[in-house]
Homo-oligomer: A and B are copies of this chain.
Amino acid sequence: MAKKEIDLAFVIQNVDLFYFSGSIQRGYLFVPSEGEAVFFVEKNYQRAVGETPLKCIQTPSLKALPNLIGEHGFHGSSVGMEFDVIPVAMFNRLKTFFKHWETVDLSREIKKIRSVKSEFEISQIKKAGRIVTQVFSEVKNHLREGVTELELDGILTSIGRALGHQGLLRMRGFNHEMMNIHVLSGTSGSVVSYSDTPLAGHGLSPAIAQGSSIRMIERDQPVVIDYGAGYNGYVTDETRTFVIGRLKGPLEKACRVSLEILEEVESFAKAGVQPLDIYERAQERARMEGLSPYFMGIDEGQVSFVGHGLGLEINEWPILGKGEKRALQSGMVFALEPKFVFPELGAVGIELDYIVRESGLERVTQFSKDVITL
């Protein structure tokens, strides 16, 4: 904040509130560049007091804001806000309350701070990872010919929920919607959509346009399951490929190459490595195997990354792809997802989550190749 000459951070998005205060109760967190942070709480005050160690002050509504700013001695000329998530209508209202302040975008600073996780945060991500490991280990008990993607989706969701899945996963930003699970079998894996992901699926209608469909699972076809668990706000995002019978031709090969890309990245990635190097080495590997046209999607659906950061949201920094300039730092957590999509055959791929350490990468979940019933 000092570097950008911001005198006051004004935080209102629920995930950022949770990160900085430990509570998502409705309110406004004031963090001055010097002095004590205060959480002004609209609703529910008692619950917020029990959740955050910060000073809480009960406030009736947004209208009280101008008085709060003065009364509590917040002064300066520049206030930072989350421009990437606050809607225009709310922002226009906030500006009238901060009449003599300049408003500055704070979203990049917040994303940067949040990209490096504490050991406590990592422990929460690992707890989410345990749910993922257990749910994937259950697939063999429910994957049958003739079961629909939707039925398997429901069964696995229910197992994860009973194990303590928090119920929803968060994705930051406008129009971004996150489902806990995608079960995509056969050509469902080849269907692209609006989202910035290599696979998307049909979903049940154009209104959702992603996810599991009513397609029945068939023998010798890839079943790609992308599943994320959430624990105390922290998420994981992993993928496994299953098959009843055998994968054939390019699918079998691409599945093997996915695993080899993971192994190769594990052999060199660590703090200090450039995320773009990971993407380019994965691309190079796909190229050497003659799989470039299928790597990370096909045609219009091809994305320009091979992984992404995660934490309280599923699309955090770093991006393992084009546009990412900063080197990996110890404590970053990312999902690495080499995937291949074939027009007539479907998709295959593996996605694992990693913690960046000085010496290398640490896996978040238990993963053994034999889970994939090839």
Residues of B within 8 A of A92 (CB): 83
Pick the interface stretch among A22-30, A276-284, A347-355.
Answer: A22-30
Name the residue of chain B whose CB is nearest to the CB of A211.
B167
- Flag A59-90 by CB within 8 Å of B: 1 or 0 each: 00000000000000000000001011111111
Which residues of the partner chain B approach A173 to less than 8 Å between Cβ atoms? 87
Q: How far is the CA of A194 from the CA of B26 in the complex (A)?
A: 5
When distances are taken between beta carbons in the complex, the residues of chain B under 8 Å from A175 are 12-14, 24, 26
On whether the beta carbons of B300 and A164 are closer than 8 Å, the reply is no
A233 at the interface (CB under 8 A from B): yes
- Asked, given contacts A47-B193, A85-B174, whether A203 binds B166 with beta carbons under 8 Å apart, the answer is yes
Enumerate chain B residues within 8 angstroms of A162, measured Cβ to Cβ. 148, 150-151, 154
A371 at the interface (CB under 8 A from B): no
* Cα distance, A161 to B208, chains bound together (Å): 14
The quantity of this chain's copies bound in the complex is: 2
- Chain B nearest CB from A92 CB (Å) reads 8
**For this complex, into which size category does the number of interface residues on chain A fall?**
35 or more
B174 x A206 contact (CB < 8 A): no
Instruction: Tell yes or no: A157 within 8 A of B by CB.
Output: yes
- Taken residue by residue from 18 to 36, chain A's Cβ proximity to chain B (1 for < 8 Å, 0 otherwise) reads as 1000111110000000000
A7 contacts the other chain (Cβ, under 8 Å)?
no
The listed residue with most B CB atoms (<10 A of its CB), out of A83, A86, A158, is A158
Residues in B neighbouring A43, C-beta threshold 8 A = 192-194, 300-301
A207 at the interface (CB under 8 A from B): yes
Contact with B along A225-250 (1 / 0, CB 8 A): 00000111110000000000000000
In the bound complex, residues from chain B placing their C-beta under 8 Å from that of A164 are: 150, 204, 214
Q: Looking at the assembled complex, report how far the CB atom of A182 sits from the nearest CB atom of chain B, in whole angstroms.
A: 9
Q: Assess the A205–B233 pair: CB atoms within 8 A.
A: yes
Chain B residues, Cβ within 8 Å of A44: 192-194, 300-301
Q: Is A153 engaged at the interface, CB distance under 8 Å to the other chain?
A: yes
Residues of the B chain whose Cβ atoms lie less than 8 Å from the Cβ of A145:
none
Further pairs besides A47-B191, A205-B231: 10, Cβ < 8 Å: A13-B174, A24-B209, A43-B192, A83-B87, A85-B87, A85-B174, A86-B87, A87-B173, A89-B107, A168-B179
What is A's interface to B at a CB cutoff of 8 Å? 12-14, 18, 22-26, 42-47, 51, 81, 83-92, 105, 107, 148, 150-151, 153-155, 157-162, 164, 166-168, 170, 173-175, 177, 179, 191-194, 203-209, 211-212, 214, 230-234, 300-301, 312
10 contacts between A and B (CB under 8 A): A13-B174, A14-B175, A24-B208, A25-B194, A45-B300, A47-B191, A81-B88, A83-B89, A167-B204, A204-B232
